[in-house]
Amino acid sequence: MTGRPAPLPRPAPVPRPSAVLAARYARALDIAAVVAVAGWHLAGAGPLLVAHLGSYPSDQFQIAAWGAIALIIAAGSVLLLRGLQSRGTGWALAAAALAISTAVAAACPPDQMLATDWAWGTAGWVGVLVLLRRPLAELGVFLTLEGVATFAVLTRDGLHRSTVAAFITVLAGSAGIQLAIAVAAGALNVPARQAADAATREADVTARRAVADRIRGARRARWLELRATAEPLLQGLATGTADPGDPAVQRACAVEAARLRRLLAEGDDAPDPLVHELHACADVAQRRGVAVDIETAAVIPAVPPEGRRAITDLAIAVLVNAMSQVRVTVTGTVDGVIVSLVSDSPAEPDLPSSPVWLAVDSQRDQQSLWVEARWNTM
Amino acid sequence: MEHHVTAAIVEDHPVVIEGIISWISADPEQRITVTQVVSDITGLAAPRAADVLILDLELGGRMISDEVTRLAASGYRIVAFSAHVEPARILDVLDAGAHAYVSKDEGRDHLIEAVLAAASDRPCVTRSQAKAILADPRPGRPALSGKERQALLLWFQGMSKASVARRMSISENTVRQYIDRARVKYATLGRAARTKDALLARAIEDGLIRPDEVATYTTLASQPRPALS
């Protein structure tokens, strides 16, 4: 006997459009941060350092510090782009940058510190880079710590009004811009999320519309099909040209009622659609008082809709002719299914013409009529 | 069937008992007499006090399929009578040594025939049995010939044996032989039981099968059985 058909492979989960969009946007933001910070270190801090070489107490220390900051930026960029940034790694790199920046400030000529300190601004940008995925307040804390450390180094020889004013100017120019950029990045995220949500909603609406169109199409096809046979019958009954007392008219009505029930059953999600639809077809005969017994044997293979349609059309033709009992059997075979009906039908049923791929056979023994349909998977 | 047959009934539903007795008394030849009616197997008389035991497989809401082995081993000829029609259960009960399996739906048409066949150790294949045999998925199932299978299928579909004969262009007697042979092949399956030996011996006597066709007993009890749908 045939085995149950293998279950269909589950489709791979499709990411929601909003998630795709948000991920793409976050990626662009990361790359922009890396480019900006690396660019500042190379094109901003680098030339500043080169311009003042010779005026530092130790040029080698300044160059080594610049290299160390470059390494921190490289490490921070890799972590960010690989999605490995965490609170621990972020703050470890930020702390290293803060320490180097403070040491650089301390190793600058004391009277020209604000002019020669290339590291202050760079360290702030490192903070933006390594704390990009952290809450904005953490960057605020970092920039404050850095400002305080630099201010402490600046004022170790005493407080002068001019140096304080210059410090505030530089602070506004670096930390202010860094914070503003971080705020803007957070703010840009909001419209991106809105755009993503809108895309999701649109996709949902499109999917719902497609399903509705398919359902409407299927309903229309069923209605057209029913109309072709049921409408003339109903018109005949309404205009009086068909006599409700005529057994032929009664049988035609029973056929249409069974077909209607079958159409309704076709939309059901039943584990065994063929048997389910045969039950629907039997319903009309049972209402007439005919005992219908439906038996299945072995595993029934899946029969496509057109196969079920041809088989149930045959079943309806037999069922409407049965006097008092019908035995319907559905037998699964190695290569298909055999549906048979044994009924007591004195009148010869008007069997519908079956498609070539459905082998139909029948035999009459007095009152007893046997009709069999064989459908093969091949 | 000139010999008069006695039957004991194990059944706990009064309505069903009434039904069985009314079918038996409606037999125009009055071939069966009910000698005992009990609602539980503990109340049964000795194995051969009655020729045949009509046994409901569900007593007091509990399935007693497991008891069939013991009862068959003590020599009861059992006709299982049950509302259950799952092929796996039917095959189990036949393996355990029951003579025939009659579902409650087919009782009116086949119970008397099954009791008479059991009394003479002859096979009886009801439509529910035919279905179970056709759908037997076990690797160790007996090999049926194409004709045996065709006859069983048409019989399961609901044709009378006369109609099956016409369909297959053979005599009604040959149809019976094909169907009975399929049943007898199942007597060589599962645990050995006195009832199965009797069935096989009678089948050889009747010329239904040749002695060399009787394979040795193969035990299927230890093999896993694939679930049916």
Q: Please give the domain boundaries of chain B with CATH numbers for all domains.
A: 5-213 (3.40.50.2300)
Provide the pLDDT confidence category of residue B82 given band limits of 50, 70 and 90. Answer: very high
- Nearest 5°: the CA angle B132, B137, B139 is 130
CB A297 within 8 A of CB A305: no
Residue carrying structure tokens 């860094």:
A178
Who among A1, A296, A300 is closest to B137 (CB)?
A: A1
Kindly report, residue by residue over A72-81, the tens digit of the pLDDT.
Answer: 999 999 988 8
The DSSP bridge partners found for residue A370 are: A342, A363
d(CA A51, CA A207): 62
* CB-CB under 8 Å, A331 with B153: yes
CA distance A291 to A328: 11
Coil vs helix vs strand at B216:
coil
Are the Cβ atoms of A342 and B157 closer than 8 angstroms? yes
The CB-side HSE value for B20 (13 A sphere, CA atoms) comes to 31
Contact B157/A293, CB-based, under 8 Å?
no
Mutating which of A324, A334, A342 best tests the B interface, going by the most B Cβ atoms within 10 A? A342
Length in residues, chain B: 229
Q: How far apart are CA B130 and CA A338, in angstroms?
A: 15
pTM above 0.95, yes or no: no
What is the distance in angstroms between the Cα of B94 and the nearest Cα belonging to chain A?
18
Distance, CA of B49 to chain centre? 20
What tokens appear for A257 in the block?
Answer: 């009622």
> Is A4 a residue whose pLDDT tops 70?
no
Q: What is the mean pLDDT of residues B98-115?
A: 92
Output A224 or B70, whichever has higher pLDDT. Answer: B70
Structure-token match 């690797």, residue found: B139
Closest residue of B to A300, CA-based?
Answer: B229
Using the beta-carbon criterion (under 8 Å), do A1 and B156 form an inter-chain contact?
no
For B86, nearest residue in chain A (alpha carbons):
A297
Tell me the CB-side half-sphere exposure of residue B156, using CA atoms within 13 A: 28
Question: What one-character-per-residue DSSP string does B160-174 give?
Answer: -HHHHHHHHTS-HHH
pLDDT at A49 over 60: yes
Tell me how many degrees the CA angle B94-B97-B102 measures, rounded to the nearest 5: 45
**Is residue B207 helix, strand or coil?**
coil
**Chain A residues touching B229 at Cβ < 8 A:** 4, 296, 298-300, 332
Contact yes or no for B135 and A1 at CB 8 A? yes
Chain A residues within 8 A of B167 when measuring between CB atoms: 363, 370
Contact B156 A368 (CB under 8 A): no
Residues of chain B in contact with residue A291, where contact means CB-CB under 8 angstroms, are none
CA–CA separation, A226 vs A261, rounded Å?
Answer: 11
Quick one: pLDDT at residue A18? Answer: 61
Residues of chain B positioned with their CB less than 8 A from the CB of A363: 163, 166-167
Return the structure tokens found at A36. 């900006």
Q: Helix axis angle, B146-157 relative to B172-186, nearest 10°? A: 100
Q: Of B169, B176, B154, B145, whose CA–CA distance to A331 is shortest?
A: B154
- For residue range B144-167, list pLDDT tens digits in order: 999 999 999 999 999 999 999 999
Of A4, A295, A365, the CB nearest to B131: A295
Rounded mean pLDDT of A335-347?
92
Residue environment code for A281-315, b if the CB has 16+ CB neighbours within 10 A, otherwise e: bbbbbeeeebebebbbbbbbbebeeebbbbbbbbb
Q: Flag whether pLDDT at B169 surpasses 70.
A: yes
The answer to whether the CB of B122 falls within 8 A of the CB of B5 is: no
Residues of A within 8 A of B150 (CB-CB) are none
Question: So what's the ipTM on this one?
Answer: 0.84
**Best CA proximity match to A53, nearest among A108, A6, A10, A95:** A108
> For residue B159, which residues of chain A lie inside 8 Å, CB to CB?
342, 368, 370
| Among A318, A230, A312, A222, CA closest to A274 | A312
Listed in sequence order, the residues at least 6 apart from A172 whose beta carbon sits closer than 8 Å to its beta carbon are none
Evaluate if residue A11 carries a pLDDT over 60: no
Highest mean pLDDT among A178-182, A190-194, A320-324: A320-324
At CB < 8 Å, which residues of chain A contact B?
1, 4, 293, 295-300, 327, 329, 331-332, 338, 340, 342, 363, 365, 368, 370, 372
Say yes or no for a CB contact (<8 Å) between B156 and A297. yes
pLDDT computed for residue A189 by the predictor: 65
Give the per-residue pLDDT at B44.
Answer: 83
pLDDT in tens, B193-202: 778 888 888 8
Could you give the domains of chain A?
Answer: 17-201 (no CATH), 268-376 (3.30.565.10)
Closest CA to B113 of B128, B103, B102: B102
Helices assigned H by DSSP within chain A: 17-39, 46-51, 59-81, 87-106, 113-116, 119-130, 136-154, 161-171, 177-239, 247-266, 273-287, 305-319
